[in-house]
Amino acid sequence: MNGAGVGAVGEGAGDAGEEGLTLRERKKWRTRQRISGEATRLFIERGFDRVTVAEIARAAEVSTMTVFNYFPRKEDLFLDRIPEARELLVRAVRERGTDETPLGALRRLGRDLVAARHPLAGVGEDFAHFWRTVAESPALRARGRAAVEEIEGLLAVELARAGGAGGPESRLAAALIVAGWRAVYAEVVGRQLDGDPVDAVAVEYAETLERTFDALERALPVLR
């Protein structure tokens, strides 16, 4: 998560694919994948602000209305993993182990995303193209900031429900967690834009994330 944006490199939100879906759901999933994939290609090739939704619809062979049925905002065509980010954070806290703290669950989520080179981890081969497109678009950067605020608010609710903090305490805890993760994420993005080797960035990312959560545990003993 960072101020530049929360999104995906490639197509679609979510990695579960078509497993467990009905025929109708598979068709919708494939349509969403096709729209997102064509949008991503065009945005990276030409820049977000120079591509229209109508052009994306033509490339994906659907109507403009269909595009908006799947993606209410143009920005969501590119930052299409925002819903997945929200879902993963909520699930990590709600479905944590009986002996696992909310912070421990979020730390584990971060570890897993980095280890799997998940798009939401923000580090991977060719990700620099994605982040450069975000950096060049004020609209995408604004949507990214809004997404971070949404995630912070959602996390505050989940922390309160988890019983580790409530009221102002849960909001403060969520703000600190998101700020810490965002700082690490921003460093990772910057290094990739500078052309640093992805493997080296990933290793340092994992180490810095651990130190960040160590600091958060000291700052937020109520969530330990």
Count the residues in the chain.
224
Where are the extended beta strands (E) located within the chain? none
pLDDT at 224: 63
pLDDT at 11: 39
Q: Quick count: other Cβ atoms within 10 Å of Cβ 87?
A: 14
pLDDT at 164: 57
Question: Quick one: how far is CA 219 from the chain centroid?
Answer: 25
pLDDT at 55: 98
SS3 87: helix
Where the chain has pLDDT below 70, the residues are 1-19, 164-166, 222, 224
Contact (CB, 8 A) for 47 and 133:
yes
pLDDT at 125: 84
pLDDT at 17: 59
Cα–Cα distances in angstroms (integers) from residue 86 to residues 56, 93, 166, in the given order: 26, 11, 20
Long-range contacts of 15-24 (CB under 8 A, 24+ apart): 15/118
pLDDT at 13: 39
Dihedral sign computed on CA atoms, order 20, 21, 26, 30: negative
Predicted structure pTM score: 0.84
What digits encode the pLDDT tens for the residues 4-14? 344 444 434 34
pLDDT at 166: 65
Dihedral sign computed on CA atoms, order 1, 211, 155, 106: positive
pLDDT at 20: 75
